[in-house]
Amino acid sequence: MINVMIYNENVHETTVESVRAIYPDGIHGAIKGFLEKDGAVGKIRCATLKDHRETLNKEALEDTDVLIWWGHMKHHEVDDEAVARVVRRVLDGMGLIVLHSGHASKPFQKLMGTDTPLLRWREAGEKVRLWNIIRNHPIAQGLDESFVVPHDETYGEPFGIPAPDEQVFISWFQGGEIFRSGCTWRRGEGKIFYFQNGHETFPVYHQKEVQLVIANAVKWACPPLRICLRDRGPGNAPALEKYESDSGGFTPVTRG
Ligand code: ZN
Protein backbone atom coordinates (compact mmCIF):
# COMPACT_ATOMS: atom_id res chain seq x y z
CA MET A 1 0.00 0.00 0.00
CA ILE A 2 1.22 3.48 -0.87
CA ASN A 3 1.24 6.06 1.92
CA VAL A 4 0.48 9.55 0.64
CA MET A 5 0.91 12.99 2.18
CA ILE A 6 -0.94 15.94 0.62
CA TYR A 7 0.35 19.44 1.32
CA ASN A 8 -2.07 22.21 0.38
CA GLU A 9 -1.62 25.85 1.26
CA ASN A 10 -5.39 26.03 1.98
CA VAL A 11 -5.55 29.82 1.93
CA HIS A 12 -7.90 30.50 -1.01
CA GLU A 13 -10.41 27.90 0.19
CA THR A 14 -10.61 29.49 3.61
CA THR A 15 -10.69 33.14 2.50
CA VAL A 16 -12.52 33.27 -0.85
CA GLU A 17 -16.15 32.16 -0.88
CA SER A 18 -16.21 31.17 -4.58
CA VAL A 19 -13.19 28.89 -4.09
CA ARG A 20 -14.69 27.38 -0.93
CA ALA A 21 -17.80 26.54 -2.98
CA ILE A 22 -15.68 24.48 -5.39
CA TYR A 23 -13.48 22.90 -2.71
CA PRO A 24 -15.46 22.89 0.56
CA ASP A 25 -12.92 20.50 2.10
CA GLY A 26 -9.94 22.26 0.52
CA ILE A 27 -7.99 21.11 -2.52
CA HIS A 28 -6.28 18.56 -0.25
CA GLY A 29 -9.72 17.24 0.73
CA ALA A 30 -10.72 16.82 -2.92
CA ILE A 31 -7.50 14.98 -3.77
CA LYS A 32 -7.80 12.81 -0.66
CA GLY A 33 -11.39 12.06 -1.65
CA PHE A 34 -10.52 10.36 -4.92
CA LEU A 35 -7.25 8.80 -3.77
CA GLU A 36 -8.88 7.04 -0.84
CA LYS A 37 -11.07 5.14 -3.31
CA ASP A 38 -7.91 3.77 -4.95
CA GLY A 39 -7.12 0.27 -3.71
CA ALA A 40 -3.36 0.81 -4.04
CA VAL A 41 -3.33 3.77 -1.66
CA GLY A 42 -2.93 3.18 2.08
CA LYS A 43 -2.58 5.93 4.64
CA ILE A 44 -3.35 9.50 3.48
CA ARG A 45 -2.13 12.38 5.62
CA CYS A 46 -2.79 16.06 4.96
CA ALA A 47 -0.73 19.14 5.78
CA THR A 48 -1.62 22.79 5.31
CA LEU A 49 0.33 26.02 5.61
CA LYS A 50 -1.18 26.56 9.06
CA ASP A 51 0.00 23.25 10.54
CA HIS A 52 2.88 22.19 8.26
CA ARG A 53 5.61 22.75 10.85
CA GLU A 54 4.06 19.90 12.85
CA THR A 55 2.45 17.77 10.14
CA LEU A 56 5.48 17.64 7.83
CA ASN A 57 7.50 16.11 10.65
CA LYS A 58 10.34 13.61 10.24
CA GLU A 59 8.36 10.56 11.36
CA ALA A 60 5.39 11.30 9.09
CA LEU A 61 7.65 11.96 6.11
CA GLU A 62 9.59 8.77 6.72
CA ASP A 63 6.27 6.92 6.65
CA THR A 64 5.29 8.63 3.35
CA ASP A 65 5.92 7.13 -0.09
CA VAL A 66 4.58 10.00 -2.17
CA LEU A 67 4.08 13.67 -1.28
CA ILE A 68 1.68 15.82 -3.33
CA TRP A 69 2.27 19.60 -3.19
CA TRP A 70 -0.15 22.44 -4.01
CA GLY A 71 0.81 26.00 -3.08
CA HIS A 72 0.22 29.39 -4.64
CA MET A 73 0.58 32.69 -2.84
CA LYS A 74 2.32 31.78 0.43
CA HIS A 75 5.33 29.80 -0.71
CA HIS A 76 7.60 32.17 1.21
CA GLU A 77 5.82 31.31 4.49
CA VAL A 78 6.75 27.65 4.27
CA ASP A 79 9.31 26.86 6.95
CA ASP A 80 12.84 26.23 5.68
CA GLU A 81 13.41 23.33 8.06
CA ALA A 82 10.25 21.60 6.82
CA VAL A 83 11.47 22.19 3.26
CA ALA A 84 14.84 20.64 4.13
CA ARG A 85 13.07 17.56 5.54
CA VAL A 86 11.02 17.21 2.34
CA VAL A 87 14.04 17.61 0.06
CA ARG A 88 16.04 15.05 2.08
CA ARG A 89 13.21 12.52 1.86
CA VAL A 90 12.91 13.00 -1.91
CA LEU A 91 16.65 12.38 -2.26
CA ASP A 92 16.12 9.21 -0.19
CA GLY A 93 13.41 8.01 -2.57
CA MET A 94 10.07 9.57 -1.60
CA GLY A 95 8.06 10.47 -4.72
CA LEU A 96 7.00 14.11 -5.18
CA ILE A 97 4.07 15.33 -7.28
CA VAL A 98 4.06 19.10 -7.73
CA LEU A 99 0.78 20.59 -8.90
CA HIS A 100 0.01 23.81 -10.76
CA SER A 101 1.66 26.85 -9.09
CA GLY A 102 3.76 24.50 -6.98
CA HIS A 103 6.45 25.18 -9.59
CA ALA A 104 7.28 28.22 -7.42
CA SER A 105 7.36 26.25 -4.14
CA LYS A 106 10.56 26.02 -2.13
CA PRO A 107 10.95 22.21 -2.36
CA PHE A 108 10.53 22.24 -6.16
CA GLN A 109 12.98 25.10 -6.63
CA LYS A 110 15.56 23.43 -4.42
CA LEU A 111 15.24 20.11 -6.20
CA MET A 112 15.35 21.73 -9.64
CA GLY A 113 18.21 24.06 -8.75
CA THR A 114 16.27 27.08 -9.99
CA ASP A 115 14.86 30.30 -8.68
CA THR A 116 11.09 30.63 -9.36
CA PRO A 117 10.88 29.19 -12.88
CA LEU A 118 9.66 31.79 -15.34
CA LEU A 119 6.50 31.27 -17.33
CA ARG A 120 3.74 33.23 -19.06
CA TRP A 121 0.40 33.19 -17.25
CA ARG A 122 -3.10 34.60 -17.61
CA GLU A 123 -6.29 34.08 -15.62
CA ALA A 124 -8.82 33.99 -18.43
CA GLY A 125 -10.55 30.65 -17.88
CA GLU A 126 -9.35 29.38 -21.23
CA LYS A 127 -9.81 25.89 -22.58
CA VAL A 128 -6.71 23.71 -22.48
CA ARG A 129 -6.02 20.55 -24.45
CA LEU A 130 -3.40 18.22 -22.98
CA TRP A 131 -1.59 16.05 -25.49
CA ASN A 132 -0.46 12.73 -24.15
CA ILE A 133 2.83 12.32 -25.97
CA ILE A 134 4.23 9.18 -24.27
CA ARG A 135 1.21 6.90 -24.48
CA ASN A 136 3.08 4.00 -22.91
CA HIS A 137 4.09 6.02 -19.87
CA PRO A 138 2.65 4.72 -16.56
CA ILE A 139 1.28 8.22 -15.79
CA ALA A 140 -0.68 8.25 -19.07
CA GLN A 141 -2.43 4.91 -18.66
CA GLY A 142 -6.19 4.98 -19.29
CA LEU A 143 -6.08 8.33 -21.11
CA ASP A 144 -6.85 9.03 -24.75
CA GLU A 145 -4.27 10.68 -27.00
CA SER A 146 -5.49 14.05 -25.70
CA PHE A 147 -8.09 15.43 -23.31
CA VAL A 148 -9.60 18.83 -22.56
CA VAL A 149 -9.84 20.74 -19.30
CA PRO A 150 -12.68 23.16 -20.10
CA HIS A 151 -11.38 26.10 -18.03
CA ASP A 152 -8.05 26.65 -16.32
CA GLU A 153 -5.40 29.27 -15.80
CA THR A 154 -3.17 29.66 -18.85
CA TYR A 155 0.52 28.91 -18.48
CA GLY A 156 2.85 29.37 -21.42
CA GLU A 157 6.41 28.79 -22.51
CA PRO A 158 9.15 29.67 -21.96
CA PHE A 159 9.02 27.70 -18.69
CA GLY A 160 12.32 28.04 -16.81
CA ILE A 161 12.78 24.46 -15.70
CA PRO A 162 15.73 22.15 -16.31
CA ALA A 163 15.05 19.84 -19.26
CA PRO A 164 12.72 17.11 -18.00
CA ASP A 165 13.81 13.47 -18.10
CA GLU A 166 10.46 12.65 -19.72
CA GLN A 167 7.87 14.90 -21.31
CA VAL A 168 4.58 13.13 -20.67
CA PHE A 169 2.11 15.93 -21.56
CA ILE A 170 2.25 19.10 -23.60
CA SER A 171 -0.70 21.51 -23.43
CA TRP A 172 -2.23 23.85 -25.95
CA PHE A 173 -4.22 26.82 -24.63
CA GLN A 174 -7.04 28.63 -26.36
CA GLY A 175 -5.09 31.88 -26.31
CA GLY A 176 -2.29 30.37 -28.36
CA GLU A 177 0.28 29.28 -25.76
CA ILE A 178 1.82 25.87 -25.44
CA PHE A 179 3.23 24.54 -22.17
CA ARG A 180 5.19 21.52 -20.94
CA SER A 181 2.43 20.48 -18.58
CA GLY A 182 3.54 17.01 -17.49
CA CYS A 183 7.25 16.57 -16.75
CA THR A 184 9.31 14.02 -14.83
CA TRP A 185 12.73 14.16 -13.22
CA ARG A 186 14.79 12.01 -10.86
CA ARG A 187 16.66 13.65 -8.03
CA GLY A 188 18.75 11.31 -5.89
CA GLU A 189 16.60 8.21 -5.42
CA GLY A 190 13.33 10.12 -5.77
CA LYS A 191 10.98 10.53 -8.72
CA ILE A 192 9.34 13.91 -9.33
CA PHE A 193 6.32 14.71 -11.50
CA TYR A 194 5.15 18.23 -12.26
CA PHE A 195 1.56 18.62 -13.51
CA GLN A 196 0.32 22.04 -14.54
CA ASN A 197 -3.45 21.91 -14.20
CA GLY A 198 -5.42 22.94 -11.13
CA HIS A 199 -6.01 26.67 -10.64
CA GLU A 200 -8.17 27.07 -7.52
CA THR A 201 -11.08 28.93 -9.15
CA PHE A 202 -11.94 26.04 -11.48
CA PRO A 203 -13.11 22.53 -10.50
CA VAL A 204 -10.12 20.88 -12.19
CA TYR A 205 -9.48 18.30 -9.45
CA HIS A 206 -13.06 17.08 -9.77
CA GLN A 207 -12.42 16.04 -13.40
CA LYS A 208 -11.91 12.32 -13.90
CA GLU A 209 -8.97 12.53 -16.35
CA VAL A 210 -7.08 14.81 -13.97
CA GLN A 211 -7.82 12.45 -11.07
CA LEU A 212 -6.50 9.57 -13.17
CA VAL A 213 -3.26 11.45 -13.94
CA ILE A 214 -2.67 12.10 -10.23
CA ALA A 215 -3.54 8.53 -9.18
CA ASN A 216 -1.24 7.14 -11.91
CA ALA A 217 1.52 9.51 -10.86
CA VAL A 218 1.23 8.34 -7.23
CA LYS A 219 1.86 4.76 -8.38
CA TRP A 220 4.68 5.78 -10.74
CA ALA A 221 6.45 7.90 -8.09
CA CYS A 222 6.18 5.36 -5.27
CA PRO A 223 9.59 3.85 -4.48
CA PRO A 224 9.73 0.03 -4.26
CA LEU A 225 11.50 0.33 -0.88
CA ARG A 226 10.97 2.85 1.90
CA ILE A 227 14.52 3.51 3.10
CA CYS A 228 16.55 6.37 4.46
CA LEU A 229 19.81 6.16 2.58
CA ARG A 230 21.12 9.42 3.90
CA ASP A 231 20.89 8.31 7.52
CA ARG A 232 23.51 5.70 6.70
CA GLY A 233 25.96 8.31 5.44
CA PRO A 234 28.83 7.65 3.08
CA GLY A 235 30.99 6.07 5.85
CA ASN A 236 34.31 4.29 5.76
CA ALA A 237 33.61 0.66 4.79
CA PRO A 238 35.54 -2.61 5.07
CA ALA A 239 36.18 -4.61 1.89
CA LEU A 240 33.46 -7.15 1.16
CA GLU A 241 35.77 -9.70 -0.45
CA LYS A 242 38.93 -11.30 0.96
CA TYR A 243 42.09 -10.38 -0.92
CA GLU A 244 43.85 -13.28 -2.60
CA SER A 245 47.40 -12.20 -1.87
CA ASP A 246 48.99 -12.41 1.60
CA SER A 247 50.79 -9.13 1.23
CA GLY A 248 48.03 -7.00 2.64
CA GLY A 249 46.08 -7.49 -0.54
CA PHE A 250 47.80 -4.85 -2.57
CA THR A 251 50.73 -5.51 -4.87
CA PRO A 252 52.12 -2.33 -6.29
CA VAL A 253 53.07 -2.56 -9.92
CA THR A 254 56.65 -1.39 -10.44
CA ARG A 255 57.96 -0.37 -13.76
CA GLY A 256 61.48 -0.51 -15.15
ZN1 ZN B 1 -3.23 29.42 -10.49
Q: Ligand 1: distance of its center to the CA of 20 in Å?
A: 15
pLDDT at 26: 98
pLDDT surpasses 90 at 253: no
Considering the chain, what is the average pLDDT of its residues?
94
Based on C-alpha coordinates, what's the Rg of the chain?
21
Output the CA 200–ligand 1 centroid distance in Å: 6
The answer for residues whose C-beta is within 8 angstroms of residue 67's C-beta and 6 or more apart is: 4, 5, 6, 7, 61, 86, 89, 90, 94, 95, 96, 97
What are phi and psi for residue 219, nearest 5 degrees? -70, -40
Cα 86 to ligand 1 centre (Å): 23
Query: Is the pTM above the cut of 0.95?
Result: no
Ligand 1 centroid to Cα of residue 236, in Å, is 48
Q: What is the DSSP letter of 136?
A: T
Fold that domain 2-116+182-230 belongs to in CATH:
Rossmann fold (3.40.50)
Residue 34 has pLDDT above 70, yes or no: yes
pLDDT per residue as tens digits for the range 182-205: 999 999 999 999 999 999 999 999
CA 235–ligand 1 middle distance (angstroms): 45
What does the pLDDT read at residue 246? 60
Q: Yes or no: say if 213 and 137 are a contact pair by the CB < 8 Å rule.
A: no
